[in-house]
Amino acid sequence: MFKKSIIALSLISVLTGCSLDGDDGQNGSQGLQGEQGVGGTNGLNGINANSALNINLVGRGVLNAQSPEGAAEIVAYQASKKWIYAINSSGDDAVVNTLPADTFDTAALVKDNEGVINATNLTSVIMLPLNDNTQGDANSIAIDENNNLLAVAMAAESTGDAGQIAFYDISGDSPVFIKNVTVGFLPDMVTFTHDGAKAVVAN
């Protein structure tokens, strides 16, 4: 009986000692570098943005050719008449020139020896003197095809004064002044809503 108890105690001691965790060993040395992976395939070539949109000159007009500055800046198109309206502020007075655009003689647009087109195939047929009804300078124009209206954003002569929107009836052979509407300072970017019920302007 005594011998069996000693053996049992010995086994318990051995088993108890095995349940304790030993200290971690030291890290091994760095392994060899792996082989280079297989290279990826090349990406698709980019598409030249200019090739998606081709623009060709079909019409060219000169406004106030005697002025070295020139200011044919903002244009609007009346589709019902095929007329182009362009602000011309290069002279002493602000005007809007009207150029018919029902036909384009593209053969007239010939390049000179330097590859520049100086010829014209559009001619102004109506000059609307804006200052006859509204003082100041023209910043922008817009056309409403629903009601045949032309709106011109006019900045006051003094930057501290409110500007105006001048409205014209363009249903006839030439624009006819309707009225001025006072807006904020330096009005610009005038435009009509799609239904023509309102005119919107940035001050």
Q: Region 10-16: what's the mean pLDDT?
A: 47
For 92, residues 6+ apart whose C-beta sits below 8 A from its C-beta are: none
- Pick from 23-27, 42-46, 69-73, 190-194: least confident: 69-73
Which residues touch 37 (CB under 8 Å, ≥6 apart)?
none
d(CA 167, CA 149): 7
Q: Take residue 43 and report the two structure tokens written for it.
A: 């990406």
CATH of the domain at 171: 2.130.10.10
Question: Is the residue at 30 inside a domain?
Answer: no
Q: Do the domain assignments include residue 141?
A: yes
Helix or strand holding residue 198 (H, E): none
* Residue 152 in domain: yes
pLDDT band (50, 70, 90) for residue 109: very high
Q: Averaged over 52-64, what is the pLDDT?
A: 83
Tell me if the pTM is above 0.85. no
Tell me how many domains the chain contains.
1
Residue 52: predicted pLDDT: 65
Residue 104 included in any domain: yes
Output the CA angle 140-182-91, nearest 5 degrees.
40
d(CA 153, CA 188): 6
In a domain, 52, yes or no: no
Residue 96 near residue 130 (C-beta atoms within 8 A): yes
Distance, CA of 165 to CA of 184 (rounded, Å): 10
- What is the arithmetic mean of pLDDT over 124-146? 95
The answer as to whether 51 is a domain residue is no
pLDDT of 5 above 60: no
Token pair for residue 137?
């300078």
d(CA 61, CA 85): 12
pLDDT at 13 over 50: no
Q: Is residue 159 part of a domain?
A: yes
Question: Has residue 17 been placed in a domain?
Answer: no
Distances (CA, A) of 171 to 46, 149, 177: 49, 8, 12
Average pLDDT over residues 71-80: 88
| Confidence tier at 69 by pLDDT (50, 70, 90) | low
* Residue 43 pLDDT grade (very low, low, confident, very high; cuts 50, 70, 90): confident
Give mean pLDDT, residues 134-140.
Answer: 94
Reported confidence tier of residue 72, pLDDT bands at 50, 70, 90: confident
Q: How far apart are CA 147 and CA 100, in angstroms?
A: 20
Domain that holds residue 177: 57-202
Rounded CA separation 186/166 (Å): 14
Band the pLDDT of 44: cuts 50, 70, 90: confident
Q: What is the reported pLDDT for 15? A: 47
